[in-house]
Structure 1
Amino acid sequence: MLTIDLPALHRGKMQVLHPEHLSLAPGEVVALLGPNGAGKSTLLHAIAGLAPERVRLRNHGTDLPRDQIGFLPQAFAVRSTLSVLDCILLGRREALGLRVPPRLIAEAEALLCRLGLAPLADRPMQDLSGGQQQRVLIAQRLFRRPKLLLLDEPTSALDLHHQLEVMALLRAHAEETGTPVLAALHDLSLAARWCDRVLVLAEGRLLADGPAEAVLTPDCLARHWRITPEVLLSRDGKPVIVPHPLGA
């Protein structure tokens, strides 16, 4: 079990998040949900060690070093002539020497194939679209083999096909490696379909934690997202949330 103890978090003099305690099970995919401005990015940055406040992370009772966290922030744009393959390999830069071991190249190429990026392996990163860069950077974090994976809006630049592809890859990676994944998402239906649990962050607190069908109730959605939801079921029994204006 991986535990996270968060102190109060601030932006300037304003407190944006109360102290919280989180537990993530091995191989668990957890969605961090909340309206705009709730503090989702602030929380993820703090867990990644990029905030002034000290967050304590323990993995099976042992302190988790920050270099064992894979973090992909929301704002990304790579302006580099570095090739896609080289960008992936840099995810494990500590293992690289003057000559890159062939096994690492083969592993990176296999990961590119899983994400449908193999034809881009030799392309410069700066020549890729935003969605392509996002998939490459997700692959780089996976290639690093972190003990905790933090993702801030990992599907924001992706079309529908690639949203499903990335979420399926994250799900498979978590199950295969036992790595817990915590991802901030805006698409509530995507979170409900692919995540084991959802956390609702609002009003400076984590107000709800559990399966999507239990947490994303009409009252919760009306209060925090200011919508009147129409909740349907997908063919695999997961909730699909259709938003309507509040009171409609």
Structure 2
Amino acid sequence: MSLESDIDDLWQRKQSGLTAADATDEQLGVLDEFLAALEAGDVRAAEKSSGEWEANEWVKQGILLNFGLRETVAREYGGVDYHDVLPLRETADLNERGTRNTPDGTAIRRGAYLGEDCIMMSPSFVNIGAHVGDGALIDSCDTVGSCAQIGENVKLGANTLIGGVLEPVEDAPVIVEDGVSLGAGCRVTSGFVVGENSVVGENTLLTPRIPVYDLVEEEVIYGELPSERRAFQRFVESSVSDHDMIEGGAFKPAVVATHIEDETLEATEREDALRE
């Protein structure tokens, strides 16, 4: 049987009442094999097909099974006791890829993939099912959520949050495509897709509930930032602005996207010095 069919079988058994107390060593071995495949990059929680990102439902089911069919165990990391169903990821293979994670606060959960020549600064965290592409920079105080897909040569500015999406299993997670630069303090949540080679200004919130005013195509879109854009947060008049209780009017967040300009790329060149 294939790994996918093994996970599907376990998923059906879980729906029929299989619990962590009942799980056999053989079944847990399937889950271990599945986590190893995620860490090797052999399977991914989402992939691009015909120009659209689609969730691999069976992969997200496999991640959920690791929580549903394992017992919580007391563990230790960096002198701190914690309790979880999974340990942190072994990192010996990262050195072979030329990837480095600085000490004192970088944590990579089992089932996460980091590609070649990545840099992970402390403190930062990469959750289960996340896929971080070659050459990516994860800066201090960054979080990469469960199943998030981070492309090649992506720069995540300090204190950036990439949200996780585990359920429902059919929903695609947050996607940050190749060549994107996110400024410090950005938030990307709820399956939002950041198109390749875009530069996003500091403290910008990207979520499907906030409109993106694309001045290139002159349209308002939700849930994605097109490729080759320079984007920044702005505030537009709210529908409750005319309420008597709100003196001076009320405003709501929006994202404005323009043509990317050559000089905006210069702002990302300083990150290359970290690799020289």
The structure that has the greater radius of gyration is 2
User: TM-score, length-normalised on structure 2?
Assistant: 0.26
Q: Which is bigger in relative contact order (C-alpha 8 A, separation at least 6)?
A: 1
User: TM-score, length-normalised on structure 1?
Assistant: 0.28
Which structure has greater helix proportion? Answer: 1
